[in-house]
Amino acid sequence: MTPIPTTIASDAMHEALHRVFGFRSFRPNQREIVEALLSGRDLFAVMPTGGGKSLCYQLPAVLLPGTALVVSPLISLMKDQVDGAVSNGIKAAFLNSSLDPAEQSRVMQALLLGSLDLLYVAPERLALDYFRDQLIRASISMAVIDEAHCISEWGHDFRPDYLSLSSIVDLLPDIPVAAFTATATHLVQRDIMVKLRLRDPFVVRASFDRPNLSYEVRFKEHGDAQLTSILRKFSGQAGIVYRTSRKSVNDTAAMLQKKGFRALPYHAGLSDQERQENQEAFIRDETDIIVATVAFGMGIDKSNVRFVIHADLPKSIESYYQETGRAGRDGEEAQCIMLFSQADIPKVRFFIDAMLDQEERSRALDALSKVVAFASANVCRRKTLLGHFGQSYPKDNCGSCDVCLGLHEVVDCTTEAQMLLSAIVRTDSRFGAAHLVEILTGSDTKKIREFGHDRLNVFGAGKGHGKKFWRQLIDDLLARKAIGRSEGLYPVIYLLEGGVGILKNGERVEITRVVEQKVEKPSRKSAGPAASPADAPLFEKLRALRKRLADEQGVPPYVVFSDRTLHEMAALKPRTPDEMLTISGVGEVKLARYAAHFLDLIGAGGK
């Protein structure tokens, strides 16, 4: 590959940035990455979801002669990625098993004729001798490895088929190789660079901070009622609810449907057709909520996801970060809520204990402990997340997590903890959490009467607090290892050494509780101009127009324009094509294709 001179590259890339993508300036790190690729240098980049990763290789692909080869792990998303590129006037195609032989042949011919800027392929195709032979004959400008953490055994989504990518530098020795991922610790980063054999790469570790996302951990209670209460606050908005098992996905989706929500399930147990149809419905704004296992979402391009709810514990901090990162890709405000209870830990342990490889099991347990620590601690969520990836957060208060917003209060529960520990001792550590709570709250149950627990001096001693309080206190004492919970179908609670000091010496116990009256939505952190409440009706009309145009063209609505672009239109109300070009996300091709429709609507006052 012949590098583009720096002065030419600078002028050309800024012109193409506006002409093709409709942006007047780069986001952080984008310019440096584009310049590195234009100069022919290998690249390793960690960029958070929503950080503008695709532009970093699509822009050089437009400027460089030849075709940029993009290796992407999910066949189901390639068409949407290509639709998005084509909507900006980029000559793009994908090559995978969803195409019939004639279609595959046409794509290969376009590649060999040099008429493509971008070609998306799955990693398995790189292992095919025939395809490798064709690549040697083609003019390839660069190779891009998306979701590069999949090549690392230390990554959270290791895929053996990615290992074949290590041969790219031998197959195409004269082109730059670029590896992109949204999540990589320093250990994963080193492993990726070694396995891909990157040559003196330009390394970028963008900030992991997503300032438009707010983070919140809530004590998990009354599962369905709690979840529906949260979802009603996001009425009509797109979001993802993550569950651990296929059964819980099906049950939750069915429950939400009965309550009037537009919700669909997604997991590996569904047929390929149903899974694809449900994902398409979500991407095309035909359903609001996807209830899913973690099989859903890697690399999803839908930009207007306004919330991500973890109704069960994520398996690692890396997974949590990537899954929450699917919210707010358009830069608009989005919320990430985790429902947490110590009772969920045994469910995750069940899957971990089934692992045959001791090293894999050990890594999974370590990852679980870090997730539990994140959820249990009364420390800024953003600071903790960034710290996991080796990045410090400079502020004392992030202003957009439950801890920093003061949604919790610290309460001295030493006396109550002693009551609970006493109940454990006086029942000989033979009973589970639910029965202990019944004792403390003075419940008149058959089981309590049969065991004579209504005669204990702690019976009813805690009736001044509700059962939620006692369940949360048990969770807290489990987290601080004052008590333990046995394994098995009927786990019992027992005293640990850490609880002895509390019971006998009165060591102080504090827990954090949600302050219901102080719950408030974080301030809007959109990168675009703020829309006033008066703009909301116009924004909704613009959304409806976008959906109609997208349906006519068979593409997802966000491919036409992002929510951020529509918010700017609603706020600035452009009246001419030149004014429309000043809107972020409106390039020349989209101006020619869509602008007249939107200008007519805005000019008519949204009627």
Same domain, 489 and 555: no
Same domain, 298 and 234: yes
pLDDT at 530 over 70: no
Q: Is residue 298 domain-resident? A: yes
Q: Is residue 526 domain-resident? A: no
Please tell me which residue, 448 or 513, carries the higher pLDDT value.
448
Q: How confident is the model at residue 8, as a pLDDT?
A: 52
Same domain, 487 and 542: no
pLDDT at 524 over 50: no
Q: Is residue 403 domain-resident? A: no
Same domain, 574 and 467: no
pLDDT at 263 over 90: yes
Q: What's the domain range around 243?
A: 213-394
pLDDT at 130 over 60: yes
Contact 572, 529 (CB under 8 A): yes
Q: How confident is the model at residue 29, as a pLDDT?
A: 92
Same domain, 414 and 384: no
Q: Is residue 383 domain-resident? A: yes
pLDDT at 182 over 60: yes
pLDDT band at 534 (very low <50, low <70, confident <90, very high): low
Mean pLDDT lowest among 2-6, 286-290, 362-366, 545-549: 2-6
Q: How confident is the model at residue 65, as a pLDDT?
A: 94
Q: Is residue 138 domain-resident? A: yes
DSSP 490-547: S--EEE-HHHHHHHHH----EEEEE-GGG--PPPP--SSPPPPGGGHHHHHHHHHHHH
Q: How confident is the model at residue 356, as a pLDDT?
A: 84
Q: How confident is the model at residue 335, as a pLDDT?
A: 96
Helix (H/G/I), strand (E/B), else coil: 24: coil
pLDDT band at 376 (very low <50, low <70, confident <90, very high): confident
Q: Is residue 525 domain-resident? A: no
Q: What is the mean pLDDT of residues 331-352?
A: 85
Same domain, 337 and 424: no
pLDDT at 559 over 60: yes
User: Which residue in the block uniquely carries the two structure tokens 């075709």?
Assistant: 67
Q: What is the mean pLDDT of residues 571-592?
A: 93
- Per cent of the chain over pLDDT 70 is 92
The span from the CA of 6 to the CA of 17, in Å, is 16
Same domain, 151 and 221: no
Q: How confident is the model at residue 306, as a pLDDT?
A: 94
Quote the number of domains for the chain: 4
**What are the tokens at 151?**
């090549």
Helix (H/G/I), strand (E/B), else coil: 467: helix
Q: What is the mean pLDDT of residues 218-231?
A: 88
Contact 492, 486 (CB under 8 A): yes
Q: What is the mean pLDDT of residues 102-115?
A: 94
Q: How confident is the model at residue 260, as a pLDDT?
A: 95
Of 412, 301, 331, 314, residue with least CA distance to 372: 314
Q: What is the mean pLDDT of residues 148-155?
A: 79
Q: Final residue of a domain: which of 343, 367, 394? A: 394
Q: How confident is the model at residue 262, as a pLDDT?
A: 96
Same domain, 353 and 261: yes
pLDDT at 518 over 50: no
Pairing of strands 483-485, 493-495: antiparallel
Say what the pTM is. 0.77
Q: Final residue of a domain: which of 394, 425, 450? A: 394
Q: Final residue of a domain: which of 205, 225, 251? A: 205
Q: What is the mean pLDDT of residues 162-186?
A: 89
Of 351, 354, 358, residue with least CA distance to 319: 351
pLDDT at 147 over 70: yes
Same domain, 10 and 100: yes
Of 585, 600, 591, 607, residue with least CA distance to 538: 607
pLDDT at 399 over 60: yes
Q: How confident is the model at residue 529, as a pLDDT?
A: 58
**What are the tokens at 122?**
């799955």
Mean pLDDT lowest among 310-324, 326-340, 347-361, 587-601: 347-361
Same domain, 504 and 549: no
Q: Is residue 591 domain-resident? A: yes
**What are the tokens at 376?**
């249990």
Q: How confident is the model at residue 503, as a pLDDT?
A: 86
- Per cent of the chain over pLDDT 90 is 50
pLDDT tens-place string over residues 270-290: 898 898 889 889 988 999 999
Q: How confident is the model at residue 527, as a pLDDT?
A: 52
Which amino acid, 279? Q
pLDDT band at 517 (very low <50, low <70, confident <90, very high): very low
**What CATH code is carried by the domain that includes residue 114?**
3.40.50.300
Q: Is residue 523 domain-resident? A: no
Q: How confident is the model at residue 154, as a pLDDT?
A: 73
CB neighbours of residue 604 within 10 Å: 9
Same domain, 79 and 179: yes
Same domain, 321 and 385: yes
**What CATH code is carried by the domain that includes residue 452?**
1.10.10.10
The span from the CA of 373 to the CA of 434, in Å, is 23
pLDDT at 520 over 50: no
Q: How confident is the model at residue 219, as a pLDDT?
A: 84
**What CATH code is carried by the domain that includes residue 546?**
1.10.150.80
